[in-house]
């Protein structure tokens, strides 16, 4: 039903949306949604409440900025970084993993990457080259849409399932169903989850490890939102509770630890791929055939990363090393700073639910979902695509859950760009939305 009394001029919005020629608006990418919202802002002069992009909305960690400036002043910008990574970063990454995850991994296997995006790309690439016939990545969805795009770019295959109906012991059956086919090279999930924000339990992580071990499948754990399950205090180095991890239950894992969200250092594209000691030194027939030798770790570093980027920003490695060290030393409480996302989510959820919206992924097994970087919303009688398009007329932009591999109807909303003045603005707009959709 056409609504004329919308905060964003209805005709202009229709014209701009139609100009993008999207047959199914619900399948619009994050970048397309950003482009449409930005154009609408510019053309209509209406402030948008941006909830589509998962971009950090806090200041970068000062300890990292200072370390990077000092490194630049020392002249590292003129020197190619060591392809294995800055030794101090490798050492501090290993210590950080011990401090906050309570897992031992050698510095050798802590490999700097140009953000976790490059880390997952290289991980997918090497994993699918290890064993003939294993050319598929399994996604425990919902997940980060661009990771599937990475598989498409490489020409490999992916499979996926929405874990919504398969929590707890049910997870074992669905994993068996996929892994017994013998074509899965690796599986991936994020913890906390993007976009649903649930966290796999220790029992579920153990199930994943057991089934993966049975079929010799590598487990890739995306820790982009490290220590951001704010229901527990994960801020104390070398003290429990620790960040949950698959590494307690298998030695065939890769962890992606990003500097983007935990340290608000997204612009410098820096992260660490942590490869277990056993996997790092494991030789595979497919890698020997393709490269003439090498182990998973040496191929990952000396063949794939070297070919992709010839290393990672030299000065940014100094920044991440300093942030890891300060966090493990206990002089930099990075968790207390990023708790702001949880506070924002709590306020935003209350506004949405007070106007007839519902949280899609509202429980994490038998507990209420945590408040964090993302949350999910739906509205009665609307598909995710319909809701996404309709909210554009109200100056609210978010992405459809369908693009994340979710089978649920709704949207992913991100808290990172919310400004203090926008809570009242959102409440006002959603009140009008509710009146127009009775």
CATH number, position 423: 3.90.1150.100
Q: Quick one: 130 and 29 in the same domain? A: no
Q: Quick one: 317 and 355 in the same domain? A: no
Number of domains in the chain: 2
Residue 430 Cα to chain centre, angstroms: 28
Question: In terms of Cα–Cα distance, which of 361, 363, 347, 369 is closest to 410?
Answer: 361
Q: How far apart are CA 200 and CA 245, in angstroms?
A: 9
Cβ–Cβ < 8 Å for 43, 391: no
| 272 in a structural domain | yes
Q: How far apart are CA 206 and CA 215, in angstroms?
A: 15
Total-model pTM = 0.94
Question: In terms of Cα–Cα distance, which of 402, 367, 362 is closest to 142?
Answer: 402
Per-residue pLDDT tens for 127-142?
999 999 999 999 999 9
Q: Quick one: 325 and 345 in the same domain? A: no
Output the pLDDT for position 3.
52
Q: How far apart are CA 144 and CA 141, in angstroms?
A: 8
Cβ–Cβ < 8 Å for 37, 397: yes
Per-residue pLDDT tens for 29-61?
888 999 999 999 999 999 999 999 888 989 999
Q: Report DSSP state, residue 127.
A: H
Per-residue pLDDT tens for 236-267?
999 999 999 999 999 999 999 999 999 999 99
Per-residue pLDDT tens for 149-193?
999 999 999 999 999 999 999 999 999 999 999 999 999 999 999
Output the pLDDT for position 2.
54
Task: Give me the CATH number covering residue 283.
Answer: 3.40.640.10
Tokens of 319: 């920044």
Structural domain boundaries, residue 383:
10-53+334-436
Q: Quick one: 296 and 403 in the same domain? A: no
- Which pLDDT band, with edges at 50, 70 and 90, does 68 fall under? very high
Where among 273, 298, 329 does a domain terminate? 329
Q: Report DSSP state, residue 61.
A: P
Looking at residues 375-404, what average pLDDT do you find?
96
Q: Quick one: 176 and 213 in the same domain? A: yes
Q: Quick one: 321 and 372 in the same domain? A: no
Percent of the chain's residues with pLDDT above 90: 95
- Which pLDDT band, with edges at 50, 70 and 90, does 1 fall under? very low
Q: Quick one: 157 and 45 in the same domain? A: no
């Amino acid at each position: 039903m056409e609504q004329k009394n919308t905060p964003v001029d209805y005709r202009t919005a229709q014209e701009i949306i139609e100009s993008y020629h999207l047959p199914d608006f619900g399948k619009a990418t994050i970048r397309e949604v950003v482009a449409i919202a930005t154009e609408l802002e510019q053309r209509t002069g209406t402030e948008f409440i941006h909830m589509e992009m998962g971009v950090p909305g806090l200041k970068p960690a000062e300890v990292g900025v200072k370390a990077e400036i000092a490194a630049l002043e020392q002249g590292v910008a003129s020197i190619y970084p060591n392809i294995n990574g800055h030794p101090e970063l490798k050492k501090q990454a290993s210590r950080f993993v011990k401090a906050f995850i309570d897992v031992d991994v050698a510095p050798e296997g802590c490999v700097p990457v140009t953000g976790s995006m490059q880390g997952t790309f290289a991980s997918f690439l090497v994993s699918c080259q290890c064993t003939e016939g294993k050319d598929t990545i399994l996604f425990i969805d919902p997940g980060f849409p661009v990771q599937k795009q990475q598989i498409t770019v490489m020409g490999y295959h992916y499979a996926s399932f929405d874990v919504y109906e398969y929590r707890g012991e049910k997870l074992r059956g669905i994993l068996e169903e996929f892994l017994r086919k013998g074509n899965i090279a690796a599986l991936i999930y994020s913890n906390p989850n993007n976009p649903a924000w649930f966290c796999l339990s220790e029992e579920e992580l153990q199930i994943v490890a057991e089934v993966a071990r049975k079929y010799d499948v590598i487990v890739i754990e995306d820790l982009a939102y490290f220590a951001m399950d704010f229901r527990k205090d994960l801020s104390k180095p070398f003290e429990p509770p620790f960040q949950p991890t698959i590494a307690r239950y298998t030695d065939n894992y890769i962890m992606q630890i990003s500097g983007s969200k935990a340290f608000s250092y997204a612009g410098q594209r820096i992260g660490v791929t942590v490869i277990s000691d056993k996997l790092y030194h494991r030789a595979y027939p497919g890698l020997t055939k393709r490269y003439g030798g090498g182990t998973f770790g040496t191929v990952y570093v000396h063949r794939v990363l070297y070919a992709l980027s010839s290393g990672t920003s030299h000065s940014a490695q100094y920044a991440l090393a300093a942030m890891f060290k300060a966090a493990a030393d206990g002089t930099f409480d990075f968790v207390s700073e990023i708790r702001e996302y949880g506070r924002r989510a709590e306020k935003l959820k209350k506004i949405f639910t007070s106007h007839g919206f519902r949280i899609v992924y509202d429980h994490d097994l038998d507990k209420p979902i945590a408040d964090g970087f993302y949350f999910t919303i739906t509205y009665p009688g609307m598909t995710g695509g319909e809701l996404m398009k309709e909210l554009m007329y109200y100056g609210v932009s978010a992405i459809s859950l369908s693009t994340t591999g979710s089978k649920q109807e709704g949207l992913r909303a991100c808290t990172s760009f919310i400004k203090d003045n926008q809570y009242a603005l959102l409440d006002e707009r959603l009140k009008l939305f509710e009146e127009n959709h009775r």
